[in-house]
Amino acid sequence: MAAAAAAKSRGWRRTYTDACLLLAFSDILNFSTSGDRALAYSAVSRLDHAIVIAGVPGEGRMDLVLDLIAGIQSECLDSPAGYPHDSLPDTAPHRPAGTTVASLPSAMRDVPRFDKPPSLSSFIARFSQQPFVLPGFLSDWPALNEHPWSSLDYLRTVAGPGRVVPVEVGSDYRRDDWTQQMMPWDEFLSSLRAQPAGESARPVLYLAQHSLFNQFPALKDDIFVPDYVYSDLDPPNNYPQYVPPANEERLVLNAWLGPGGTVSPPHTDPFYNFYAQVVGRKTVWLAPPEASPHMHPYPPHTSKSEHSAEEPRNPAANNESPLMSNTSQVDVFVSIPEDIDASKLDYPDFWSRVVPSAMLVTLEPGDLLFFPPGWWHAMRSEETSFSVSMWF
């Protein structure tokens, strides 16, 4: 049954890719006679849709699509002119490495910090069951040095003209007004610039959990995957259902780029995770799998017939996907006055049973965070932030 479903999915994705390729070829054929640059942009967009939506299955087909994009860009479109000194905004005062923004009432412990990275054998034997931070571990990454991801100019140049990416619209995917859309990469980067005083509020745009390295392979040369990722760990004691990613590398790389204030609510993932903070600061809340009975996840799948057609679709309400039941309804970033009795709050068992074991850290640029599968985690960008997650 599973094999048949996988074959059906692969067949659909190949069909979608073929359709995108045919439409892109049609655009370029028409461009060759009309010279209308909009057709070249359309062709690049169609090919990006094939990458993002279908993953371009089939041996050598991803390279074909990327080569076609590069050829269209070089022959039909101008390269970015360059934006000297155009960088992601630094909206917070500089702090000494290792400091945190503030404590939260939802966590009573700090994530352990190791000034000296553990050996591979020590990581496997002693440190793979609990979260920890390696401050400054990424200091030699090109993404923090000669190829700075804080530079909008560099990020535009790596992509070239005409590229489009999937973005979330809204600061928290649990809200009814949250949605997703494909958007030009250049337009998305421009949205991250500091907002001029007096300008009306912009919508919050967040590139979240996206395999950006498939679209822009040059970015993968700017990071170094730590050896720990290839340690072939056993399932942790408190998450025996763990299995590694099913791809050939048994590794999934995702990018996370957005403005200050974007939030990933408490949720769980089924993989080990090394989380690399490249640009900006991000606060991370963590709780062990044992907290699950008190995390109040959204309810399991319910049939669409139970909801009226006029009712707004809440993506976290799990009306279409049972996977959304890994997301908690608790707001772990809420501020609570000290004189408030936690038993009077919503979800009192969370405050009494989860908070004592929950952990908190604010990652600085260059920090690397590890946590095992099944751990609840929530994240809040303190300013414009660029991160990489490494699931293994």
CATH number at residue 295: 2.60.120.650
**19 within domain boundaries:** yes
132 and 68, same structural domain? Answer: no
43 and 144, same structural domain? Answer: no
Which of 76, 96, 127 is a domain's end point? 76
**128 within domain boundaries:** yes
Q: Which domain holds residue 68?
A: 1-76
14 and 151, same structural domain? Answer: no
**37 within domain boundaries:** yes
Distance between CA 304 and CA 318 in Å, rounded? Answer: 10
Single-letter amino acid, residue 326: N
Distance between CA 184 and CA 334 in Å, rounded? Answer: 34
380 and 243, same structural domain? Answer: yes
Which of 28, 51, 76 is a domain's end point? 76
26 and 135, same structural domain? Answer: no
Per-residue pLDDT of the chain (392 residues; tens, 9 = 90+): 666 666 777 889 999 999 999 999 999 999 999 999 999 999 999 999 999 999 999 999 999 999 999 999 999 997 655 444 566 765 444 444 444 445 899 999 999 999 999 999 999 999 999 999 999 999 999 999 999 999 999 999 999 999 999 999 976 677 777 789 999 999 999 999 877 776 777 789 999 999 999 999 999 999 999 999 999 999 999 999 999 999 999 999 999 999 999 999 999 999 999 999 999 999 999 999 999 999 999 886 554 444 444 443 343 433 334 445 789 999 999 988 776 777 678 899 999 999 999 999 999 999 999 999 999 999 999 999 999 999 99
Residues with Cβ within 8 Å of 285's Cβ and at least 6 positions away in sequence, in order, are 104, 106, 107, 266, 332, 333, 358, 359, 360, 377, 378, 379
**103 within domain boundaries:** no
Predicted local distance difference test score (pLDDT) of residue 3: 65
Residues with Cβ within 8 Å of 151's Cβ and at least 6 positions away in sequence, in order, are 86, 87, 88
385 and 285, same structural domain? Answer: yes
Q: Would you state the structure tokens that stand for residue 181, as one six-digit string? A: 């859309």
Count of alpha carbons within 13 angstroms of residue 354, beta-carbon side: 30
**253 within domain boundaries:** yes
What's the domain count of the chain?
A: 2
231 and 164, same structural domain? Answer: yes
159 and 24, same structural domain? Answer: no
